[in-house]
Structure 1
Amino acid sequence: MTTSLADIRQDYAKQELSPDDCLADPVAQFQRWLDEALQAKVPEPTAMHLATVGADGRPSGRIVLLKGVEAGGLQFFTNYQSRKGQQIDATPFVSLTFFWPELERQVRIEGRIEKLPGEASDQYFASRPYASRIGAWASEQSQEISGKSVLVTRAAEFGLKYVLHVPRPPHWGGYQVIPDRLEFWQGRPSRLHDRVQYLRQQAGGWQVSRLAP
């Protein structure tokens, strides 16, 4: 027995959203929704889809984990030499998407991206489990390898090299996304969803508006 994809539907009716419900600062509004997702114990509440743009103009996406919301920006950590790292170097603008189906919510964020200071990357790297720190050295992320044994061998080699203290690799660290557009989506019945958009203004501050679903 097969299910037609066209027949899969979910009606949303848990909550409503209007510009009047939202905080003046969109990053603070995001933090409020993230806190509610954490409190609701939704699976992987910090998982976010990160979209970058290649030199050929084609978009590229993957799931990464949010690791901080500070100084008006959203932070994550990765290999700078990975495919996404190279694309960020060439085009320092990205989009992020969070989806919390249990709360019938989605957040879309667009903005400029920049590397975090080395001290911030050092601090986070030191907090990671030992095996994860060794893995950051062992994996030449996004590079083609002949087999899993390559990773196992490299991990063993770096494990012998760094028995106690594992320094942060120079090719690994943090990024911060500075938003200039955010959209908060709350599912509603009959596909009449609530959408609230924030646009950063050149003179400072944010323009807040409701969008049609």
Structure 2
Amino acid sequence: MNESSVSRIVDYPDEPTALLQQLLDAVRNHQPESQIYMNLATIDDEFTVLNRTVLYRGISVDKCVIYATQRFTRNYKNIKANAKCAVTILMPVVSLPSQGSTPFLWQVRLLGATAVELPESELDAWWNRESLSAKIRDTIFPCGQPVDYDELKAKHDQFLKEYRASGKPLQRPPTFTAFKFEVQRYDFLKVGLNQIADRVQYRRQECGHWQAMHVAT
């Protein structure tokens, strides 16, 4: 028998990052070792628009999503040339207690996002949260350049050996940086099997507060 129903987002908080945090916590409660990824699209002189899947880093004190990168990468150069970005976070299977026991697919879009580079004084804190593999990549990998795998693997293994022997933490390279996304709207979509999705959109008002509303999918 064909089925159809309408999804519904209920009991959502006043702040969009609070709902985002609830979803992230639900994913990690189900899969403690899982990582959250987001799709980032930027304007590019050569390819017009470029998108890539990047690791979600966290939420800043002023409630902005954080993105970390290197100053020599194309994405950094794209953002510095045009700070307007599009960001999507997709969470395919989420069981959120406030939304019932059934798992749903959630999509979170950051609309009207402007990337603002963090000051040097804040970068160490985000560097310290990076995984060892990310720190090694940021230190020795030539992003976007043609490489010989065996040479790169040997370079990695030697670097890792020396790091372990030293017993010292890896220092933040001068190329490491991070951005926060200042957003005009957050768009949350929830949908299950054979359902029409529901969306709740948070729209920033001139006073700085958020207005939340259901919008048609």
TM-score interval, smaller chain: 0.7 to 0.9
For structure 2, the 5+ residue unaligned runs are: 95-104
Paired residue for 1:23, among 13, 37, 62? 13
Cα shift at 1:89 = 0.5
| Contact 2:110–2:183 (CA under 8 A) maintained in structure 1 | yes
Aligned residue number for residue 185 of structure 1: 189
Residue identity (%):
23
Structure 1: distance between partners of 2:171 and 2:135: 8
RMSD (Å), alpha carbons: 3.0
Paired residue for 1:68, among 58, 83, 87? 58
Q: How many residues align?
A: 200
Cα distance, 1:54–1:12 mapped onto 2, change above 3 Å: farther
Aligned residue number for residue 88 of structure 1: 79
Superposition pairs of residues 1-213 of structure 1, within 5 angstroms? 16-18=8-10, 21-41=11-31, 44-55=34-45, 58-70=48-60, 71-103=62-94, 104-110=105-111, 111-128=113-130, 130=132, 132-142=134-144, 144-149=145-150, 151-152=152-153, 155=156, 163=166, 164-188=168-192, 190-213=194-217
Structure 2: distance between partners of 1:181 and 1:154: 44
| Contact 1:52–1:93 (CA under 8 A) maintained in structure 2 | yes
For structure 1, the 5+ residue unaligned runs are: 1-10
One-letter amino acid matched to 1:51: A
Structure 2: distance between partners of 1:126 and 1:192: 42
| Contact 1:188–1:194 (CA under 8 A) maintained in structure 2 | no
Structure 2: distance between partners of 1:192 and 1:86: 39
Using structure 1 for the length normalisation, give the TM-score: 0.78
Structure 2: distance between partners of 1:88 and 1:149: 32
